[in-house]
Structure 1
Amino acid sequence: MSGRGSGAAGPLLLGVRHHGPGSARAVRAALEEARPGVVLIEGPPEADVLIPLAAEEDMRPPVALLAHAVDEPGRSAFWPLAGFSPEWVAIRWALEHGVPARFIDLPAAHTLARGRDEGGEGEDGEAGGGEPAAGADVRVDPLGVLAGAAGYDDAERWWEDVVEHRGVGDGDAVAPFTALEEAMTALREEYGSGGHGRDLVREAHMRLRIRAAQREFEDGVAVVCGAWHVPALRHKAAVAADRALLKGLPKVKTDMTWVPWTNRRLARVSGYGAGIDSPGWYAHLFGAPDRPVERWLTKVAGLLRAEDRIVSSAHVIEAVRLAETLAAMRGRPLPGLSETTDAVRAVMCEGSDVPLALVHDRLVVGEVLGEVPATAPAVPLQRDLARIQRRLRLRPEAARRELELDLRKETDAERSGLLHRLRLLGIGWGEPAASRGSTGTFRETWRLRWEPELSVRVAEAGVWGTTVLAAATARAEADAVAARGLAEVTGLAERCLLAVLPEALPTVMRILADRAALDTDVGHLAQALPALVRSLRYGDVRGTGTAALAEVAAGLAERVFVGLPPACAALDADAAEEMRRHVDAVHGAVGLLGDAPAPGLGDLRARWRSVLRTLSVRDTVPGVIRGRSVRLLLDDGELAQDEAARLMGLVLSPGTPPADAAAWIEGFVGGGSGGGLLLVHDERLLGLVDTWLTGVPAEAFTDVLPLLRRTFSAYEPGVRRTLGELVRRGPGSRGGTATAGAGRPGFAPGLDTARADAVLPVVRLLLGRDGDDEAARVAGSAGVPG
């Protein structure tokens, strides 16, 4: 192959598979043998100034070149590189030997402009902007075609057999590239551009850059590019023809930098034209000095042992033997990933795919996040975020992890504020999760995972400010102005308090007060109130002033109280169910408002109870809302059980249509409100429901059955079982102690003091130091001698 001598002999074209460890080894060997004067690499030329950073100690692949439009940061493209990528190996070889390295692909300025104009992906990088343009031809997969010609149904397996397992021989280091070029030349003759005409433009630009390098360097030019492009670069096209292809291309002003990448992202079909299914496996093949199969299975054994699975040295030996046997049976030169995986499943995982999934996630793909040096170009917002991450010891990681925060601690409170600010900016590094073991507002749980795309989101958010605090404040104010509904503004007020944005609150509160004054829809007001109440509580735990918020919340509650009864009249079934949910939300909000340490909120509970009483007895209110109102009053101790039973008896009387009675029952004991336990422990209410249900006429029973099934199917299985037993035994059979024997539900006529005394030691233990006095008080209130 030509290209080892002077620039006049032609360039040394090294066609590679992107992210291929075999190609990477071959590139290193070829460069060592040829010793060119310059190394040209497929990639955006704007990144030439970033190449020296690859030699920094803090630069650890996988990393990616990120290009984004200056005026539209969300318009971006990535060029990912792993430690086993041929392009990365070529860059490092050039830096280690003092040889210039340059990128020669079409500039990112054109790539991003094309993405904006056509809504498609850009070149070999991974570009934002949507799917490829409609009508675009499907691109030919060169490796798939070659694998099929060789009788393989799997391109990955073919590539492993012919490249990864063959290694670099002792002879001509360029020979593998010569063979691959011949194969690609035949494919280009058959398929042309392979259904991707944009390659012709890119290849024209690469040829022009190669010619310029040949004129500049006399010691030879080496080109590292995708093997698909080699025949086109070898083609002797006229300079004028190449320049004509590039004339008039749209362009945008572009910035570039290095960003961390992950193995998980390498495993997608993106970036440098090809995704790989097993980046962890390829990294192992590239880094293993010898005996790759034995070393791999030893890694697997170590992982499984760390997960408390019993894996011995004998398992490793047997797995190696099985993998080699499978390779021989399948006609492969060495065991590949499929053989080692089958051996691990059979020997180390006992045929189970559950531990095998762990091996795939941790080793075959790998949870690796690269690093870039602090000297890499970055927008000011990125630098401020990195500084805060270091100070708060919140290191970005590729693996998903949970973070428990106690907001009473200063560092945890700052971490919470940072994560909420980033979410407000659209940077979803963390997702809130339910806290285990605590429902207090001083605890938060987050699930964190850093994805490479977040670097684009950070650059995009840089338009709002140069610091995280300033950007989040500006974004919150803009969102408040653009908000369409009252609930949207109240949600934003809550997020501002969570993110500790005191400078944004005045603007948000002013807009909130204006929207609340103009909105007359009771449903909208009811939806907005809970968010305001949560904001009051969060503001309190974070030490944020909430006086203005409390004033708006009180006014909003008053308007709900006035407008709710008329809004509940003449509703159909769906609207009544939606309004019932609003009643539940307002009830919970009022309960919290009564506890809020803010002026003007003291008598809200009393006024709300008055509203519930009105709803519970008004005939024009749908049954589901009347039943719910009675239940809420009963739960709060504002309605005696006798009165609740009387109201139920009236509703379940023969004069009430069965459908209305069923809706009332749904409101009273449905909706996952613990109604099943209420019926278990109050035999009068259960008896009323039982008597009514058995008296429903046959022609009406079919109509009420769906609602009743929805009501009772929400109960826990144990509750349904107990209710069934009570109903089977029938009302009136539960009055004696004989019916309340061991293992049988029922009610005795009086309190069993002996059984009550048995639990007092446990009560004292639970209540702590003051347990004796408190237990005596509880016992006294229950009629048990202290």
Structure 2
Amino acid sequence: MSDSAGGGAFASGALLLGVRHHGPGSARAVRAALDAARPGVVLIEGPPEADPLIPLAADPGLRPPVALLAHAVDEPGRSAFWPFAEFSPEWVAIRWALEQGVPARFIDLPATHTLAWQDEEAPPGPGPGDADGKDGAGGEGTEADRIRVDPLAVLAGTAGYDDPERWWEDVVEHRGPGAADPFAPFAALEEAMGALRERYGAGGRPRDLVREAHMRLQVRAARREFGDAVAVVCGAWHVPALRHRSAVAADRALLKGLPKVKADLTWVPWTHRRLARSSGYGAGIESPGWYGHLFRVPDRPVERWLTKVAGLLREEDRIVSSAHVIEAVRLAGTLAALRGRPLPGLGETTEAVRAVMCDGSDVPLALVHDRLVVGDVLGEVPESAPAVPLQRDLAREQRRLRLKPEALERELELDLRKDTDAGRSRLLHRLRLLGVGWGEPAHSRGSTGTFRETWRLRWEPELSVRVAEAGVWGTTVLAAATARAESDATTAGALAEVTALAEHCLLAGLPDALPVVMRVLADRAALDTDAGHLAQALPALVRSLRYGDVRGTDTGALAEVAAGLAERVFVGLPPACAALDADAAEEMRGHVDAVHTAVGLLAETLTGTAADAHGDLRGRWRSVLRALALRDAVAGVVRGRALRLLLDDGALEPGEAARLMGLVLSPGTPPADAAAWIEGFAGGGGGMLLVHDERLLGLVDTWLTGVSAEAFTDVLPLLRRTFSVYEPGVRRTLGELVRRGPGTTRGPDARAGDTPGFAADLDLRRADAVLPVLRLLLGPDTEHPGTSDHNSLAGVGT
């Protein structure tokens, strides 16, 4: 070594640079120390199997935050991550070595052992034993346990701080490496950790001893190859153990007999939001966005940070001027001075933002925390990085469909009449079938047509593991989803699962899987004699028919199976609705509702020979509903629902409905049965039926006033459940109608003004009052604005 400082750095052996993982102050100090020492090799805490991946860090396409992903080849779900941000000391060391042409190697316990060890009580990977180790355990425990979880808390408490983050900022982040001696910060931290290790040993984590034994062996091997010009970047917690002189035989004995699995490693994108959790290295940092800012902006960080906050708030239409920024900077500096801090930290800047820019409100402050303090940065990985074939095909599909993964949650509106949007929909449905939950369907705020879809998208790093797991089904997304659908069909436990899978195959565009699913569906439907199961399976099957026209899928075979299933439901449903308890009756009512909707859609869908073969499905279903409504053995909630569906369809005259309702609510019917019937009849629909048909409301009112006090206590919960789902306005209207007596305004002596909105005839004067507003909304009509006859009102309404 020609550099005198460098020579001094290696005077006592390898240069040990103990760091805080994801600490920007540590990252700057590591670069300064490496520049001064100029080592011949850089050893970094991490899995040695990733050494071939280190050169990729020089690729411009590899943009942190990223993570090394290790997964078991035979069991991809068994995985581990080692995340890196741009302000991670390990990443800075890797980049320095690549820039200087110096070898860089990982020296931690191999991933082959780390993954095999995961089945035991605690994961052995880098984490809670490190300097800033936080494994999310928290809670109570022995003092040694608390040291294992967060040794920085002990050091902060010793220095008189109640917040480890604030102590670290004051001691490291705001001080920076010493200009005269770039190694001084590491010497001080090593001394502090040495005192902790002397008192607490491994801190209640014996696996750290195994990891440290492996690291010592790797350091010895590097010194034999490169001499003393070896720099080691690792968690500060491990430095005293690496400095400790132990026998080679003793270290090898600790590693003997460790479990193994075959592992593959690659780079995957990571996010700032994931860095804010206790993951990888155990270093769940609370403010990755803030730390990234400190690393990128070493000069005037407070002023630049508050300027960035002001820009964000302006984008959200909040009034924030330059004067606000100046005042916030002054306030943050004043708070830091009062608290004896060298510079304002995140706490002081946050309080200044709340007071000056947010007017004391925590609502905009929460936005600042989410967007800036944490952030939604998503890293990028180049195509040259190793990946399973399925991951490569997914990346190609994402590029082809211009569907870029993003860490920030967003909504995606799709118009399935467009080729690109249809392709996006198929891809998202296929991924859901494979268990890769990149997108979740959401309710559309616009059109409810079958050609519209709304998705809520958010890419999480763990989805890379799900993709690796799904790779066992195929090398492309289409092939994997097809194989998974076929497998799920043959192993489905219920008929409804198979019908839902058939719907999913149509949504995902899996024509090769559909025949297998349909064959299993036909076999299951033929063997299943439970009418409830058939009724539960029919709706999903019929819903699938809607997608034939939009997605260009042949649904002829599906329609035949659905029609046959409907026929079996018609035959088996009436007997299945008899002698049910309250819970089973409520479940059956839901099946009746779903079948009613499905039959209507199926009748519209069947055409040609299929329609001729199955005849009038609607007519036969109405016969089933009439049988349910008139059969005394059927549960009251189902009988009431069947009558209501017939009335809504116009298959029953209101007078006949009133007669049947009067029979059910006669004194001879037990109050509990009558209340269940009312729930089935009046539940759902928002209560408008009772508002507009006062005869039915009068029957309910008459029955209710005749219920005895003892029986009323029993039926009250059921009645409250029925009427509680109505809108407040509907409940007020019903209360007004009951107060003055249902049906009184319909008599010949009723006056138009008795109850607003319930006159016998249309009040043209009141109707004309809304004409100006309607004209503004709908545009002017051909009539004179002053016209107030019925034709004019109808014209505007049209």
What's the TM-score once normalised by structure 1's chain length?
A: 0.94
For residue 647 of structure 2, the aligned residue among 628, 634, 639 is: 634
Residue type of the alignment partner of 2:408 = A
Tell me the SS of whatever aligns to 2:123: coil
Which residue in 1 is equivalent to 2:706? 695
The list of structure 1 runs, each at least 4 consecutive aligned residues, that deviate by more than 3 angstroms after superposition, is 1-9, 135-138, 735-740, 750-772
Q: Higher mean Cα deviation, 696-705 or 144-153?
A: 696-705
Which residue in 2 is equivalent to 1:665? 678
Which residue in 2 is equivalent to 1:716? 727
Tell me the SS of whatever aligns to 2:546: helix
Partners of 1:526 and 1:419 in 2: how far apart?
A: 29
Q: CA deviation at 1:739?
A: 3.9
In the alignment, structure 2 segments of 5+ residues that lack a partner are: 129-134, 784-789
Which residue in 2 is equivalent to 1:775? none
Tell me the SS of whatever aligns to 1:740: coil
For residue 644 of structure 1, the aligned residue among 657, 665, 679 is: 657
Tell me the SS of whatever aligns to 1:405: strand
8 A Cα contact 1:3 1:221, kept in partner: no
Tell me the SS of whatever aligns to 2:729: helix
Partners of 2:776 and 2:20 in 1: how far apart?
A: 69
Partners of 1:362 and 1:389 in 2: how far apart?
A: 25
Partners of 2:334 and 2:277 in 1: how far apart?
A: 31
Alignment of 1:244 onto 2:244: no
Residue type of the alignment partner of 2:385 = A
* Cα 1:745–1:769 shift into 2, 3 Å: closer
* Cα 1:615–1:220 shift into 2, 3 Å: same
Q: CA deviation at 1:3?
A: 7.4
Alignment of 1:725 onto 2:736: yes
Tell me the SS of whatever aligns to 2:685: coil
Partners of 1:418 and 1:51 in 2: how far apart?
A: 32
For residue 102 of structure 1, the aligned residue among 102, 105, 108 is: 105
Partners of 2:189 and 2:5 in 1: how far apart?
A: 15
Alignment of 1:542 onto 2:542: no
Alignment of 1:69 onto 2:80: no
Which residue in 1 is equivalent to 2:406? 397
Residue type of the alignment partner of 2:620 = R
Partners of 1:505 and 1:558 in 2: how far apart?
A: 22
Alignment of 1:122 onto 2:124: yes
Alignment of 1:747 onto 2:759: yes
Alignment of 1:32 onto 2:39: no
Residue type of the alignment partner of 1:330 = R
Partners of 2:19 and 2:461 in 1: how far apart?
A: 25
What does 1:553-572 correspond to in 2, within 5 Å? 553-572=562-581
Which residue in 2 is equivalent to 1:111? 114
Which residue in 1 is equivalent to 2:95? 92
Residue type of the alignment partner of 1:234 = R
Residue type of the alignment partner of 1:428 = G
Q: Higher mean Cα deviation, 252-261 or 660-669?
A: 660-669
Which residue in 2 is equivalent to 1:459? 468
* Cα 1:66–1:738 shift into 2, 3 Å: same
* Cα 1:405–1:119 shift into 2, 3 Å: farther
Tell me the SS of whatever aligns to 2:545: helix
Q: CA deviation at 1:395?
A: 0.3
Which residue in 1 is equivalent to 2:458? 449
For residue 53 of structure 2, the aligned residue among 42, 46, 50 is: 50
Partners of 1:385 and 1:313 in 2: how far apart?
A: 46
Residue type of the alignment partner of 1:322 = L
* Cα 1:351–1:215 shift into 2, 3 Å: same
Instruction: Give deviations 1:150-205, integer Å, cap 9, x for gaps.
Output: 11111111100100010122211001101111111111100001111111111111
Partners of 1:170 and 1:216 in 2: how far apart?
A: 31
* Cα 1:652–1:140 shift into 2, 3 Å: closer
Instruction: Give deviations 1:212-262, integer Å, cap 9, x for gaps.
Output: 111111470111000011111111111111111111111111111111000
Residue type of the alignment partner of 1:208 = L
Partners of 1:6 and 1:286 in 2: how far apart?
A: 25
* Cα 1:141–1:769 shift into 2, 3 Å: same
8 A Cα contact 1:764 1:771, kept in partner: no
8 A Cα contact 2:441 2:456, kept in partner: yes
What does 1:111-190 correspond to in 2, within 5 Å? 111-116=114-119, 118=120, 120-124=122-126, 138=145, 139-190=148-199
Partners of 2:166 and 2:136 in 1: how far apart?
A: 29
8 A Cα contact 2:178 2:184, kept in partner: no
Tell me the SS of whatever aligns to 2:370: helix
Q: CA deviation at 1:80?
A: 0.1
Partners of 2:419 and 2:397 in 1: how far apart?
A: 14
Tell me the SS of whatever aligns to 1:259: strand
8 A Cα contact 2:212 2:238, kept in partner: yes
* Cα 1:462–1:736 shift into 2, 3 Å: same
8 A Cα contact 2:744 2:750, kept in partner: no
Partners of 1:280 and 1:308 in 2: how far apart?
A: 22
Partners of 1:49 and 1:108 in 2: how far apart?
A: 14
Q: CA deviation at 1:742?
A: 8.5
In the alignment, structure 1 segments of 5+ residues that lack a partner are: 773-777
Residue type of the alignment partner of 1:699 = E
Alignment of 1:16 onto 2:27: no
* Cα 1:189–1:269 shift into 2, 3 Å: same
Instruction: Give deviations 1:433-468, integer Å, cap 9, x for gaps.
Output: 011122211111101000000011111111110000
Kindly, what percent of the aligned residue pairs are identical? 81
Which residue in 1 is equivalent to 2:132? none
Partners of 2:778 and 2:521 in 1: how far apart?
A: 43
For residue 513 of structure 2, the aligned residue among 504, 508, 511 is: 504
Partners of 1:752 and 1:161 in 2: how far apart?
A: 76
* Cα 1:683–1:12 shift into 2, 3 Å: same
Which residue in 2 is equivalent to 1:342? 351
8 A Cα contact 1:6 1:219, kept in partner: no
What does 1:485-504 correspond to in 2, within 5 Å? 485-504=494-513
Tell me the SS of whatever aligns to 2:202: coil
* Cα 1:743–1:97 shift into 2, 3 Å: farther
Tell me the SS of whatever aligns to 1:371: coil
Which residue in 2 is equivalent to 1:81? 84
Residue type of the alignment partner of 2:439 = G
Q: CA deviation at 1:623?
A: 1.8
**Aligned-pair Cα RMSD in Å:** 2.8
Residue type of the alignment partner of 1:13 = L
* Cα 1:543–1:666 shift into 2, 3 Å: same
* Cα 1:194–1:654 shift into 2, 3 Å: same
Q: CA deviation at 1:572?
A: 2.0
For residue 694 of structure 2, the aligned residue among 683, 692, 717 is: 683
Q: CA deviation at 1:541?
A: 2.1
* Cα 1:287–1:2 shift into 2, 3 Å: closer
